[in-house]
Amino acid sequence: MNKDLIAIFEYLEREKGIKREVIIEAISESLRAAARKSVKGLGEKVTVEINPKTGEIEVFTQKKIVEKVTHPTDEIALEDARAFEPECQLGQWLELSVPPQDFGRVAAAAARQIITQKLKGAERDVIYEEYRHRVGEIISGTVKRFFRGRTVVVDLGKVEAILPERNYPKMERYNVGDKVQALLYDVHDTEGGGAEVILTRSHPEFVSALFTQEVPELHDKTVAIEKIVRDPGYRTKLAVQSYDPKVDPVGTCVGVRGTRIKNVIRELNNEKIDVVPFAEDPIQLLKNLLSPIEPKKIKNYENRLWILVADEEYPLVIGKRGMNARLIGQMLEKEIEVQKLTDYQKLLHVQMVELGDSPDTFFDEKLKIEGVSGLINESLIGAGYDTFRKFMQTDPADIPTKVPGVNYYDLADKILEQMRKKKS
């Protein structure tokens, strides 16, 4: 019995999931190729038989029986043939056994190389069969080793997966033997002919999958994550929508006393998570993302959104390293411009003064601010601001004292908009 070969069969079946018949076929093919290249006197008709129970290997070659040999690799003389088979006749084929020692070191090396290639292909097929349909699922494994810096090799059982350094947050640290959960991101071929399982913990879909594990309503599609953006290790924002009017999507994802979202946060090493109601209207979605902060003004342009906020709320809207505003922009698919109220008011006043100093005679016409009720226009005229120029040249603090309930900056903004329309 070939105990070494049986041990190989059992190891590959148990650890790699490769069937014994696949292994035997790989070895047989490699030995056939090695025999043809390395053993003198063999032709193309070489067969290899491997006993799957004992591991014993037998190699045979077939030669045609002829009167006179002209092709030694494929023919054998009748006299020589009868030494093996006394009753053989001309024109018949004789099967001859090839002793394993005739293979030599060159044949053994060639066989090993082919076996390795074939088994890699078989292992790749096993990996594809087991994991390709699981892309997008969360799987668990154990940290086995590291290479290329901080790239992690994760033992999944039958195969090893790769967690590249770029695929997990920078602040996460692992040690050999640590348990790790990750999203199965991809399965692809390698240059060596095998297959590679790629994991990720930094992709937004990893957070989606974690929520789906915790929230049954996401799994049964009662609630859906419509949009999700992430700065791995720092913050994730997701907009959720309910398809059942009786189900609150945000409350469902957060859970009673925050139990559901806390489990996700714990797996993400205390990464901040914001869950907001989804809205098709970008302005409403923006308000949901900013809540409880209420912007003073919002202007929606083709590729950007301009937001005006109180000075004390500006740092909260921008966030650390501009992260909050950046994530809001990613979710809305627009550039976000945030301005402090005091800066905006100073700019408005400067623009009013510059227009008031303009020689344009339009500013000396009777005041009529578009988008404002006739009562407010009459009240301003009655207070002495009967032309645009007089309004533009006044001190902003004088307006509310002379015309109570009127905001200078709101009116200034409307005048600027009126001027832009006039020019266009």
pLDDT at 104 over 70: no
For 199-224, what is each residue's pLDDT tens digit? 999 999 999 999 999 999 999 999 99
> Which of 44-58, 87-101, 339-353 has maximum average pLDDT?
339-353
Per-residue H/E/C for the chain: CCHHHHHHHHHHHHHHCCCHHHHHHHHHHHHHHHHHHHCCCCCCCEEEEECCCCCCEEEEEEEEEECCCCCCCCEEEHHHHCCCCCCCCCCCEEEEEECHHHHHHHHHHHHHHHHHHHHHHHHHHHHHHHHHHHCCCEEEEEEEEEECCCEEEEECCCCEEEECHHHCCCCCCCCCCCEEEEEEEEEEECCCCCEEEEEECCCHHHHHHHHHHHCHHHHCCCEEEEEEEEECCCEEEEEEEECCCCCCHHHHHHCHHHHHHHHHHHHCCCCEEEEEECCCCHHHHHHHHHCCCCCCEEEECCCEEEEEECHHHHHHHHCHHHHHHHHHHHHHCCEEEEEEHHHHHHHHHHHHHHHHCCCCHHHHCECCCCCCCHHHHHHHHHCCCCEHHHHHCCCCCHHHHHCCCCCHHHHHHHHHHHHHHHHC
pLDDT in the model for residue 241:
97
Mean pLDDT of 21-31: 76
For 260-285, what is each residue's pLDDT tens digit? 999 999 999 999 999 999 999 999 99
Mean pLDDT of 288-302: 93
pLDDT at 102 over 60: no
pLDDT in the model for residue 1:
46
pLDDT at 127 over 80: no
Question: Tokens 């800066």 label which residue?
Answer: 343
